Amino acid sequence: MQQDINCHFGNKLREARLKRGETLESLSARLNISHQQLYKYEKGESKISSEILYKVSNYLSLPIEFFFQDINHDESEKSLSPKIDIHRNHIKRLNILIVEDDPNDVYLLEKALSYNYKNVKHLTLNEANTALNFLKNGASNKPNTFIPHLIILDLSLPNMDGFDFLKSMKHDRALKSIPVIVMTNSINRQDMERSYNLGANGYICKPFEYEEFQAVVNKLIDYWRNVVILPD
């Protein structure tokens, strides 16, 4: 249930605050929110955004994983949007290449992919040029090589950004057929249009709430694994 998820994050937030000897007033000032709002977070009365979790983890020097420890997976699943139930009897494997450099976003995305997806494998690379070289080297279909059926791409990357990655990849005859989903914090319409013009197959703005993030990943995987026919 939604309330259970909020309570879990609230309890972990309070635990972290008390361990570091922070008061409601001192921590809320650091987060630039009211202590009344922080109190609501800790009581599970308000949703805690990923942005708040990031700020708390950075200020208290805690890994983002701390807030997901001992989470009740069964309850969290109930709070998510229903999964698409098309061709459920024909579930196929799906290899996903994640090109993302933010460790917090990597953790959330990998955690979201870990739920109920036994036939889904993923590989994470944090630089676009590294990912491009990996794809080109793997295009020869060497034995035991991880060949992605789908790529999840961030736009803001070091050295080579997501746009240059898309441009290079879609001009490569051996790689251009691999679907690419842009998943980014940018809501800029020009970024969206440019991504599609360069050959992106989808554009998703990263949700701030974890349960929404999980629901988006559920729908994404169900569509590309159970609805769309992908080459083996």
Supply the pLDDT for residue 3. 54
* Cα-based distances in Å from 42 to 9, 77, 172: 7, 21, 50
Reported as a single tens digit per residue, the pLDDT across 24-82 is 888 888 888 888 888 888 888 888 777 777 778 888 887 777 777 766 544 444 444 44
Supply the pLDDT for residue 198. 94
Domain boundary among 26, 44, 71: 71
- How buried is residue 82: exposed, middle or buried, by Cβ count under 10 Å (0-12/13-18/19+)? exposed
Q: Which of 1-5, 121-125, 134-138 has the lowest mean pLDDT?
A: 1-5
Could you tell me if 12 and 122 lie in one domain?
no
Reported as a single tens digit per residue, the pLDDT across 7-30 is 888 888 888 888 888 888 888 888
Using the predicted structure, report yes or no on whether residue 151 has a pLDDT greater than 90. yes
pTM of the model: 0.66
Please list, in sequence order, all residues whose beta carbon lies within 8 angstroms of the beta carbon of residue 19, skipping any fewer than 6 positions away. none
Could you tell me if 93 and 63 lie in one domain?
no
More confident site: 142 or 167: 167
Could you tell me if 111 and 163 lie in one domain?
yes
Average pLDDT, the chain: 80
Could you tell me if 24 and 115 lie in one domain?
no
User: Are 61 and 16 a contacting pair, CB within 8 Å?
Assistant: no
- Say how far residue 226 (Cα) sits from the centre of its chain: 20
- Residue 80: inside a domain, yes or no? no
Mean pLDDT of 179-184: 93
Could you tell me if 182 and 116 lie in one domain?
yes
Domain span including residue 183: 87-227
Q: Which of 65-79, 110-124, 201-215 has the lowest mean pLDDT?
A: 65-79
Mean pLDDT of 206-212: 76
